[in-house]
Amino acid sequence: MKIAIIREECSFSKGGAERYAANLCNILCEFGHQVWLLAAKAGDGLNPAIVHVPIAVNRATSASRTLSFHRNSQRALAGLSVDRVFALSRSYPADAFRVSDPIHRYWMKIRYPGKLHRFLQTLNPRHRAILELEAAIFNPANTRCIVTNSALSKRIIGEHYTFPAERIHVVYNGVDLEKFSPSSEPATTLGANDDEVRLLFVGQDFKRKGLAPLIHAMAALRAAHMRCQLRVIGRDRTAPYVALAKELGVGDCIQFEGPSGKIQEAYRVADLMVFPTLYDPFANVCLEALACGLPVLTTTTNGASEVITEGEDGYVVDGEINGLAERLAEKIRAFCVLPPVRRAAMRTCARTKAEGFTISQNARTIVGVFNALSAGGIDGGFTK
């Protein structure tokens, strides 16, 4: 099958969505498919058989970046003859669109809870561009089917758009079980005392990922005499969060380390991954952590919570911002008092859980979705 993949950035060194795109392209090639990658940036490590079609992007503003990538991708597609078009970034028309990024109409309600403030924000060129593009993508006349990586995303689409539910396919993410694997040696302490619990936060966009509530939870844990250290790994402005940590008296137990090219090493030496996102379709960092034998504490507003078994390989708390810090502190306290044998059992369960979500399995399911699409498509079909 000749498959065109649309993703603005495709790289093993970027975030979860970019790594997903890179893994999918490589696996599709291994399966014998011909792959065209329409991307502004393509990182190292991609199969040399993949044809990279560079897409020009106008980076003058956020709105121009979003719209120019969409429009230039569609222009590039006009010159290709492929069987299926799979959009992993916001673009249409397409045979299939994968919800990789947050559904913007839903996120706006979380980010701007006040109706007036939210309305005023919709006039912002960036938000307006994304909302208009999103509405066009979720128009059934423009997209033959939607692929979501969680039941959460399917439900949100149903609440905000009129896309037919039978054309929305839930396909959970996969993870590289070789790259992300438990350490063969006991975890080192990275400078922490033996009785300190090593917490790990990994992500960009600290506000949406819930770093502030986690810092408040750290203060509550210290007040309860729980000895915890938190590593924060990811790219974002750290100054407001460093200041918050100092203000709450926990600046000495939180390390801000920036992005890491060897994130699997951080997973292997931590005791508990804490990912209190206010909204994520499915944070792949959670699967990566599980694959490394690291239990995960996350929120109901993260699609990845659907694969967590409470108390066995992690914990799930309500993602509502009000009271989130208290709920996080409660679960972390519960983990802290577990005996070593119980923590070890959770690590084993975490790895076992991840083994059910492979990249190959994900790609086979995606190909199955492609095969199920009728040759004629909708309104004559979009493939060329």
Domain locations in the chain as residue ranges? 2-174+358-372, 197-354
The whole-number pLDDT of residue 377 equals: 46
The whole-number pLDDT of residue 194 equals: 63
- The per-residue pLDDT string of the chain (384 residues; one tens digit each, 9 = 90 and over) reads 999 999 999 998 877 788 899 999 999 999 999 999 999 999 899 999 999 999 999 999 999 999 999 999 999 999 999 999 999 999 999 999 999 889 999 999 988 888 888 888 888 899 999 999 999 999 999 999 999 999 999 999 999 999 999 999 999 999 999 999 998 775 544 334 567 999 999 998 999 999 999 999 999 999 999 999 999 999 999 999 999 999 999 999 999 998 887 899 999 999 999 999 999 999 999 999 999 999 999 999 999 999 999 999 999 999 999 999 999 999 999 999 999 999 999 999 999 999 999 999 999 999 999 999 865 444 434 454
Helix (H, G, I), strand (E, B) or coil at 375: coil
Phi, psi values for residue 17, rounded to 5°: -65, -40
In whole angstroms, give the CA distance from residue 197 to residue 336.
Answer: 7
- The two tokens of residue 373 are 């699409």
The CATH number of the domain covering residues in 2-174+358-372: 3.40.50.2000
The CATH number of the domain covering residues in 197-354: 3.40.50.2000
The whole-number pLDDT of residue 100 equals: 86
Compute the C-alpha angle 289/290/296, nearest 5°: 75
The whole-number pLDDT of residue 261 equals: 79
Helix (H, G, I), strand (E, B) or coil at 63: helix
The whole-number pLDDT of residue 260 equals: 86
- Residue by residue, DSSP assigns 184-224 as SSPPP-TT--TTSEEEEEE-S-HHHHTHHHHHHHHHHHHHT
In whole angstroms, give the CA distance from residue 29 to residue 225.
Answer: 53
Residue 199: which of 232, 234, 222 has the closest Cα? 232
Query: For the whole prediction, is pTM greater than 0.75?
Result: yes
The whole-number pLDDT of residue 323 equals: 97
CB 163 within 8 A of CB 247: no
